[in-house]
Amino acid sequence: MRPILYYVHHQGSGHWRRALAMAEQLPRPVIFASSAQPPRALPPSCEHVPLPLDFGLVNEDPDAHGALHWAPTHQPGLLARHRLLLSAAAHYQPALAVVDVSVEIAVLLRTSGIPVVAVRLPGQRTDPAHNLGFALADQVVMPVPESWGLHTNLPRTHAVGLVTAARRVLKSNNDGRPRAVVVVGTGGSRLDARRCSEIAVDLPDHEVTVLGLDAPAEAGPANLSFQGRVADAGPAIAEASVVIGNTGLGTVGEVTTAGKPFVTLPEQRAFDEQEATAKALDGVGAAVALWQLPEPGGWADAVRRAMLLPEQDEPEVGAARFAQLVEAQAVEVGTV
């Protein structure tokens, strides 16, 4: 079978987690291309084409007069990564390409004759560059539940569900003491060591475990511990009574799939991605969204409200639906 070429954006860890979860459900090989290293071993049928980064100290005319998002002139990394991508496409002859996410890569591959399935994230994505990328795509995938309603009235766009390898495992910690797990992603967060100490002070009856940050030099409250960056947050989330974290789709997918009460603090991201995700979660009663850092006592109030939210239905298995759409499209474009 001809493989799928899958471009994985390097910012944050959610793009890689989504890509690997989908690839494990796909009946054909996947050639990943990314400037970021995969977070874990690839499935046996998959390969990784490392790409150089595409920015430097000086980035002239990065948006091509407003027509694109990132195409700085005379950028050696940009030229090198495009050469490697086209070389991989020529060598592997993919059935199609999945692009998560880059308008410029979608344009490059589609204008080279390779059908494209584009990933569309939440947020305000109606600018000229996004419109161009989505118009070129044969299909557009949103890795969010249909119930959020973010895909309606968008051409060829399918909400496949949260794409994660996590599964619902409802557990309680062994000692019976409630446990708050704070998940700090890789894309930048206001949940620094100081804020985590404030959370622990607000929740004196909880064990507060922080994933994604190393322990600071100064000791914090006795009920606060730091585990640093972990390869798999699933076990800690499964033991949690409540989860506090930002609103990246990777974190949202793991927490929602695990069925845990969730307090989320959306961060400023391009195109208001996390704000849009937080509004969707809040709208369906799946999380308590905090738009500002709370005053003392505010974390305890947010946790109390999260614990009162109705239990959500187990979400659809987004990875399987994503893979089914990609496989159907590969067949549709007439490849084997």
CA distance 206 to 183: 15
Structural domains of the chain, count: 2
User: What pLDDT score was predicted for residue 171?
Assistant: 58
In this structure, are 148 and 14 located in the same domain?
A: yes
In this structure, are 12 and 151 located in the same domain?
A: yes
Number of CB atoms found within 10 A of residue 179's CB: 20
**Tokens 């494209």 — which residue?**
116
In this structure, are 38 and 75 located in the same domain?
A: yes
CA distance 23 to 54: 26
Phi, psi angles (nearest 5°) of residue 168? -70, 120
User: What pLDDT score was predicted for residue 311?
Assistant: 85
Say if residues 156 and 137 touch (Cβ distance below 8 Å). Answer: yes
CA distance 220 to 200: 8
In this structure, are 266 and 325 located in the same domain?
A: no
**Which amino acid appears at position 30 of this protein?**
V
pLDDT means per 10 residues in the chain (336 residues)? 96 90 96 96 95 92 96 95 98 98 98 98 97 98 95 95 75 74 90 96 97 92 95 90 95 92 95 97 96 95 97 82 97 81
Phi, psi angles (nearest 5°) of residue 264? -125, 140
Say if residues 32 and 49 touch (Cβ distance below 8 Å). Answer: yes
In this structure, are 322 and 302 located in the same domain?
A: no
In this structure, are 325 and 301 located in the same domain?
A: no
For the chain, what is the radius of gyration of the CA atoms?
Answer: 21
The two three-digit tokens of residue 236, written as one number: 């800690």
Of 233, 259, 248, nearest to 181 by C-alpha is 233
Instruction: Please check whether residue 173 lies inside any domain of the structure.
Output: no
Burial 251-283 (b: 16+ CB within 10 A, else e): bbbbbbbbbbbbbbbbbebebbbbbbbbbbbee
In this structure, are 300 and 321 located in the same domain?
A: no
In this structure, are 153 and 200 located in the same domain?
A: no
In this structure, are 85 and 44 located in the same domain?
A: yes
Instruction: Please check whether residue 167 lies inside any domain of the structure.
Output: no
CA distance 20 to 111: 26
Number of CB atoms found within 10 A of residue 230's CB: 12
Instruction: Please check whether residue 327 lies inside any domain of the structure.
Output: yes
Instruction: Please check whether residue 170 lies inside any domain of the structure.
Output: no
CATH code, 119? 3.40.50.2000
The two three-digit tokens of residue 262, written as one number: 């969730």
Of 190, 199, 207, 318, nearest to 254 by C-alpha is 318
Instruction: Please check whether residue 324 lies inside any domain of the structure.
Output: yes
Say if residues 210 and 225 touch (Cβ distance below 8 Å). Answer: yes
Largest alpha-carbon pair distance within the chain? 62
Q: Is 199 helix (H, G, I), strand (E, B) or coil?
A: helix
CA distance 49 to 7: 9
**Residue range of the domain that includes 45:** 4-161+317-332
In this structure, are 108 and 37 located in the same domain?
A: yes
H-type alpha helices, the chain? 14-23, 76-92, 103-110, 128-136, 193-202, 234-238, 249-258, 273-283, 298-307, 318-332
In this structure, are 293 and 323 located in the same domain?
A: no
Of 51, 114, 101, 122, nearest to 282 by C-alpha is 122
Instruction: Please check whether residue 36 lies inside any domain of the structure.
Output: yes
In this structure, are 115 and 208 located in the same domain?
A: no
